[in-house]
Amino acid sequence: MLMPVLFTAATLLFSYLCTKVTKLRYLRFAQYAHIPQLPTSLLWGHLKTLGEFTKRGINDRHPALDNIFEEMWEAKGKPPILFVDLRPLSAPMLLVTTHEVAEQVSRPSKLFPLSTTKSPTWTHMAPIIGMTSILGKEGHEWKNIRKRYTPGFTSRHLWTLLPLILDQTKPFIQHLDHFAATNEVFPIETLISNLTFDIIGAAVLDVDLNAQHMDRSQQGEVIRLFWDLLRTYGDDKNNLPWWLIPRVHYKRRRLGKRIDTLVRALVYQKYAEAKSQRSSNSTTTTVNNSQPKALSSIVALSFQNLDTETLLNPSELTETSDQVRTFLFAGHDSLTSSLQWSFYELSRTPRALEAVRKELDSVLGPETDPAAICARLLSHSEDIFPKMQYINAVIKETLRLHPPASTVRLAAPGSGFTIRTSTDGKKDYLVDGLILYSCQSIIQRDPAVYGDNADKWVPERWLEKNASDIPAAAWRPFERGPRNCMGQELANLESRVIIAIVARQYEFVKVGLGESVLSDKEKGPGVDEYGQFKVREELYNTRRITAKPVDGTLVRVKLASPEWQRNWVK
């Protein structure tokens, strides 16, 4: 009696396993077989291959960092797209490696009028930015949020933020003076990150977050909690499913809720102020027939179309808090990375630093004192900033060579979304069900676009006629299409201000990774064919949510010698 039951059970189990294996074989070897890919494994897909590439080279690089994908792409012969199967840890992915294909992903289409949808992989950042963040919204919900906050990011409004930005640079300059006097080694990432936190806090909420205190206990509570939360993303766990890291996931949620509570209180406060100001403006206009006082912060401007006669309803409060947290994170994160790399590249490229200083002499005059520069920027900003062409080239080249992040989209199953490649006979590929990852560090180093020096930092490529040969779609650190970064003009304004204040007053000397090598005669660093100091070991990025220099850019700083001024003014 028992044997027939066992036989039946064994038969059913065998049938079940055969069905599962057949399905797995289809998923691994047939479903996306039409797309270029490395050899795959029945059990592990490309996870094993990814692990093997991760073990090569630098020990602490993140397995999802672009240079590992780049090595896999090179091993396959550099196709325009590459399929990477990361199931079951993540959805299968399409690595996009040319600007032509990336443009198809980001631009509007009949299937996706607002460009392809965002990948759900962003939700691992939900404790930081909230579940109603503009980064994850789609369709009309996204469009309405974008419309609500666009007034705060217009050029007209950003110019009104210049005094605020300049004011926040004062503690930053004081810290640089301190480190110049003590000759201490310090991570410039910390100073830049705290500065950009204070700037974005003032721009978005018109509040002082007190981020720039060197004594952590003196910093604002929002900033302290933000740093605690960001540290939970500082290793390889940041993209793993919650069930593999339950304790880390719980800690993130707990810290995220505490930040949300504080931000909601600030939003309520600013809403009440906007309500009071609107009432005051209405009275003033009626009585005195004068112009109403302008709203100053990005959030205050976002309240213009809300009914300020009533309290914020729960959904409006949640949405506003999530956008504020998104702006705080995004507004400091990418700028922190790009400014580190800008100062580092300038410090090891004498001709570029000289060109920046000459340009600043030309547009600002010979005075290098930060206070004097701030005063001149305030009084002549509309004349000065358009003339910062070489500084713009420095910023643009840094973002090209060291993009902090890339866009991740999703071609929904059953959508019928196809892309066309131009390097393999204009072939169409159906990419339903795939995460679409536009790898900016590959796209923006394409020798077919940027030439033989595509891997070198050469700001001159963005000047005058040189730039006209570069397709607009080949430079995309802020992405392109309807869902491009709405804060890119603010980021560019901040970068120009900070470089203008710092470049002639200070000199940075890299310590450790990226440190210059002395020439044979020990008289100074050796220079390569591109005019850059040779280094013992290359400085590289590691992933902490986005890509940043691995050591926080350890440097010494000193006051710049006045000799260069005397030589250049002649």
Q: Spell 358-372 as b/e; 16+ CB within 10 A means b.
A: ebbbebbeeebebee
Lowest mean pLDDT among 13-22, 44-53, 256-265: 13-22
Q: Which has more confidence, 17 or 43?
A: 43
**CB within 8 A of 81, min separation 6: which ones?**
35, 36, 94, 95, 96, 97, 101, 419, 421, 429
Whether 30 and 90 have beta carbons less than 8 Å apart is answered as no
- DSSP labels, 466-498: HHHTS-GGG--TT--STTS-TTHHHHHHHHHHH
Rounded Cα distance, 348 and 370, in Å:
23
- Using one digit for the tens of pLDDT, what is the confidence trace for 274-305? 877 766 655 554 445 444 455 589 999 998 87
What pLDDT score does 230 carry?
93
CB-count burial class (<10 Å; 0-12, 13-18, 19+) for 529: exposed
Q: Per residue in 174-217, pLDDT tens?
A: 999 999 999 999 999 999 999 999 999 999 999 999 999 989 99
The CA dihedral of 209, 214, 217, 221, to the nearest 10 degrees, is: 20
Kindly give the pairing relationship between strand 554-559 and strand 408-410.
unpaired
**Predicted pLDDT of residue 291:** 47
pLDDT in tens, 14-39: 777 888 888 888 889 899 999 999 99
* Tens digit of each residue's pLDDT (9 = 90 or more) over 404-461: 988 899 999 999 999 999 766 678 999 999 999 999 999 999 999 999 999 999 999 9
Instruction: Give percent of the chain with pLDDT exceeding 70.
Output: 89
Residue 526: what pLDDT?
77
Predicted TM-score (pTM) of this structure: 0.92
Classified as helix, coil or strand, 557 is strand
Does the bond joining 187 to the residue before it have cis omega, within 30 degrees of 0? no
Say if CB 86 and CB 93 are below 8 A apart.
yes
State residue 523's pLDDT score.
56
Nearest 5 degrees, angle CA 175-CA 205-CA 322?
110
